[in-house]
Amino acid sequence: MRTDEKIIDETVQGEVLMRPPKLANGKKLFLESYGCQMNFSDSEIVASILIDKGYSTTQNYKEADLILVNTCAIRDNAENRVRQRLQDYKKIKKSNPDALIGVLGCMAERLKSQFLEQEKLVDMVVGPDAYRDLPNLIEQAETGQKAINVILSKEETYADIAPVRLDKNGVSAFVSIMRGCDNMCSFCVVPFTRGRERSRDPQSIVKECKEAFDAGYREVTLLGQNVDSYLWSGGGLKKEILTEEQKAASTNFAQLMEMVALINPDLRVRFSTSHPKDMTDDVLQIMAKYENICNNIHLPVQSGSSRVLDMMNRGYSREWYLERIAAIKKILPDCGISTDIITGFCSETEDEHQETLSLMREVGYDYAYMFSYSERPKTLAERKYKDDVPENVKNRRLSEVVNLQRENSSIKTAQGVGKVHRVLIEGFSKKSEEMLMGRNSQNMVVVFPKDNHKKGDYVNVLAERCTTSTLIGNVVG
């Protein structure tokens, strides 16, 4: 969902919507999302648009009149999964020839001709800035035309659309605060699939967060490709043309986060994702000021080597990154820190791989999203660098990174034993309906007996033991 986008889910998500259609048209929608949190947030916008046009929803794609797949282009694996799912969906046309299939999101622009013409897998292709055009595109597809809109916008933020929550638990909500990305990391396709960066009016963000809280949600995650670069000037002016005086009068991310935190002390605030070159101390100080802003920061490093970081066009060095980590630990001593790591980037040497491992040991991450390098079309790396690290070397380095992170995660989890954690209950434990689960401020999973507690409650849990990544205890107080 950004230049260093992480995959949070690549499984099928046929969701139950929380709002009925205003004027039912008798047609059913099956909506599936892949990839990052931003894609799931976008799916909520799509659902809102189509429910307002009379669609109801189904969890069974075989009975759907409209199947939409919101796609991720960050790795080959995600694209291959989507293509396989589209093959499955195409088969339903034998029993329901009027059914329409559409691809949304990040794969739309890059693979539009293959999906529409070569493989004939879909009836429509819709880019992430064209969701308002969906009703028109559906009408085109219903007449047998191939419907397509992948035009990227410099203004679209969907700020006026109230999303339909496609959540699983009714406790946590995603709220998009900005769209696009200007960072141009050499390995990343996001600037080409999501366009230039633009921030959303802070009042519309606060309004959406308050509405979520009033509807029973107790946690919001503020989303952006790079939340630290959020800046709203009032007139929607691009930050690169603002004067210093205009910037001083604008709303930055720290100020926005404070506005959201002040909605209610029982509304937890999380955010994703930060960029090391843009994270300033004022963000950390606001986090320290408000208990309901979670002490958890996802700060992607990608590599521990300054040379590799320069090739990646990340905009910081190893030393800069570690200085930001030191600031976090000073201002927020109990902050949970996670990251993204890519192994086997172009020309990465064994010594540079060891630098990544040494940085991981120094930081001691709570968890990490770890991948071997996958060359993406249109990126600077594809045009400029040779993908010259053998796959077996990439995979061996990835295994070493994964094994070390397991050790780090185990250490960090064990440090929580014997402490009391404030936990927001999200639902039943995966293993037993006699146990509930939730997360503490550091985003660590905590499991405990359900007793009379319910989803959406806050409880204090004394952690008495742990697994590698989960704390287990009992409610106290």
Residues 424 and 343 in one domain: no
- The total domain count for the chain is 3
469, part of any domain:
yes
34-43, 178-187, 218-227, 360-369: the lowest-pLDDT one? 34-43
Q: Please, which residues bridge with residue 445 across strands?
A: 439, 470
11, part of any domain:
no
**Per-residue H/E/C for 24-47:** CCCCEEEEEECECHHHHHHHHHHH
> Quick one: average pLDDT of 283-309?
98
pLDDT higher than threshold 50 for residue 117: yes
DSSP run (H or E) holding 90: helix 76-90
Residues 401 and 450 in one domain: no
| pLDDT at position 3 | 36
Which residues are CB-neighbours of 84 under 8 A, at least 6 positions away?
none
pLDDT in tens, 411-436: 999 999 999 999 999 999 999 999 99
> Quick one: average pLDDT of 164-190?
89
CATH number of domain containing 131: 3.40.50.12160
167, part of any domain:
no
| pLDDT at position 165 | 83
pLDDT higher than threshold 70 for residue 23: no
Residues 72 and 197 in one domain: no
Residues 401 and 428 in one domain: no
| pLDDT at position 17 | 43
Residues 392 and 438 in one domain: no
pLDDT higher than threshold 50 for residue 54: yes
Residues 254 and 140 in one domain: no
pLDDT higher than threshold 50 for residue 229: yes
Residues 286 and 397 in one domain: yes
Cβ proximity of 408 and 359 under 8 Å: no
Residues 188 and 82 in one domain: no
> Quick one: average pLDDT of 137-144?
94
Cβ proximity of 303 and 312 under 8 Å: yes
Residue 360: both structure tokens together:
């991981």
> Quick one: average pLDDT of 143-156?
90
> Quick one: average pLDDT of 7-25?
48
Q: Residue 455 belongs to what domain range?
A: 420-476
Given pLDDT bands bounded at 50, 70 and 90, which one contains residue 12?
Answer: very low
Q: 26 or 437, which is more confident?
A: 437
> Quick one: average pLDDT of 366-383?
94
Given pLDDT bands bounded at 50, 70 and 90, which one contains residue 193?
Answer: confident
**Per-residue H/E/C for 128-181:** CCCHHHHHHHHHHHHCCCCEEECCCCCCCCCCCCCCCCCCCCCCEEEEECEECC
Which of 374, 395, 414 lies at the terminal end of a domain, its last residue? 414
CATH number of domain containing 444: 2.40.50.140
192, part of any domain:
yes
pTM metric for this prediction = 0.88
| pLDDT at position 22 | 62
| pLDDT at position 168 | 62
From CA 50, how far away is CA 132, in angstroms rounded?
9
| pLDDT at position 124 | 94
From CA 34, how far away is CA 107, in angstroms rounded?
11
CA-atom Rg of the chain in angstroms: 22
Residues 409 and 441 in one domain: no
76, part of any domain:
yes
From CA 189, how far away is CA 180, in angstroms rounded?
11
Residues 201 and 310 in one domain: yes
Which residues are CB-neighbours of 140 under 8 A, at least 6 positions away?
124, 146, 147
Angle, vertex CA 322, rays to CA 319 and CA 325, nearest 5: 155
Residues 43 and 130 in one domain: yes
Residues 70 and 94 in one domain: yes
Q: What average pLDDT does the chain have?
A: 90
Of 127, 114, 117, nearest to 71 (Cα)?
A: 127
From CA 361, how far away is CA 354, in angstroms rounded?
11
Which residues are CB-neighbours of 268 under 8 A, at least 6 positions away?
218, 219, 220, 292, 293, 294, 424, 441
